[in-house]
Homo-oligomer: A and B are copies of this chain.
Amino acid sequence: MNETATPSFPKHLLDFQDWRRTQVESLLETAQMMQEVLARPVKKVPALTGFTVATVFFEPSTRTRISFELAARRMSADVVSFSGAVSSTTKGETYRDTLRTLEQMGIDAYILRTDAAGVPHQAHRWLHKPVINAGDGWRAHPTQALLDAFTLREKLGDLEGKKIAIVGDILHSRVARSNAELLPMLGAKVVACGPATLLPGSLPGTTLTTNLKEALAEADAVMALRLQKERMDKGLLPSLPEYIAGYQITEERLRWARPQAPLLHPGPMNRDVELEGTLADSPRSLVERQVANGQAVRMAVLYHVLVGKKS
């Protein structure tokens, strides 16, 4: 049904299962070029003139939506926003009917976010145009992993052999899953760490541990995940103070990692929960750089799926 997926370059970004390392590296190189565009006073190129991109967010996320919107507009694409909360989905329309309707309106690419896992994969089969997964349930958030990888390489250079510790609610985290898929592909070793109730049984490509000291030991970088406070109310966590006591990233604990190991967080942060508030603003923090790099990476993704190039 979908003939846009060529063997030479995926015309979609659902997760990294059908991406090869060379393709990811080529995409990160494009992101580097986009970074240069973003450093100009006029941050706009005509690369996607005449294309119309839809953000289709069945789960709200203003930050991610705006990041994609700006990325698209900076390449001169038109953007329309469909948000589930105010849409006819409440009238019983299915995901499929919504997306097929947008397709009939001539949308050139879909940036899709859902609280249900797997919808972007289904959408890819329903539609004839590129689908970019902007987060589906606990499953995947590939542009976040790409911007994390871009940020890590910017700081650490080649990721071959580097140890990256991911700390927090691994079980419910699409960010953890996408990083666990991508970072090992680029040569990194990933250790995922959290309380036992917040760890999955296994996570391919990663070592799992409940021991924070072990996770941080000799780590080249540390990534704290956002804790969904809603989940704690459901008894998945003993209590917030217990989480903080065992897993909050503090300046002291960060000494377990390599000197100067940077600190990442996908945002928005719960200051003084996942990490000490002061750390977030310290030179160790790459949190703001991640956001800035998100622009470059999303521009590169849109460019690749819409205009493409041979890898």
Residue A8 interfacial (CB < 8 Å) = no
- The segment from A101-109, A138-146, A160-168, A233-241 found at the interface with B is A101-109
Known pairs A70-B52, A268-B93, A270-B92; A106 contacts B292 (CB<8 A): yes
Which residue of chain B is the closest to A101 with respect to CB atoms?
B291
Copies of this chain assembled into the complex: 3
* Interface residue tally for chain A (C-beta within 8 Å): 52
- Is the pair B50, A92 in contact by a Cβ cutoff of 8 Å? no
Instruction: List residues of chain B with CB within 8 A of the CB of A269.
Output: 93, 97
Q: How far does the Cβ of A66 sit from chain B's closest Cβ, in whole Å?
A: 5
Which residue of chain B is the closest to A62 with respect to CB atoms?
B87
Which residue of chain B is the closest to A50 with respect to CB atoms?
B42
Residue of B41, B91, B104, B288 near A50 (CB, 8 A) is B41
Residue A80 interfacial (CB < 8 Å) = yes
Q: How far does the Cβ of A143 sit from chain B's closest Cβ, in whole Å?
A: 14
Residues of A near any B CB (own CB < 8 A): 38, 41-44, 49-50, 52, 54, 60-63, 66-67, 69-70, 73-74, 78, 80, 82-83, 85-88, 91-94, 97-98, 100-106, 229, 267-271, 288-289, 291-292, 294-295
- What are 19 A-B contacts defined by CB distance under 8 Å? A43-B106, A44-B78, A52-B73, A52-B74, A60-B87, A66-B102, A67-B105, A70-B78, A85-B86, A91-B268, A93-B268, A94-B271, A97-B271, A100-B288, A104-B292, A105-B291, A105-B292, A105-B294, A106-B292
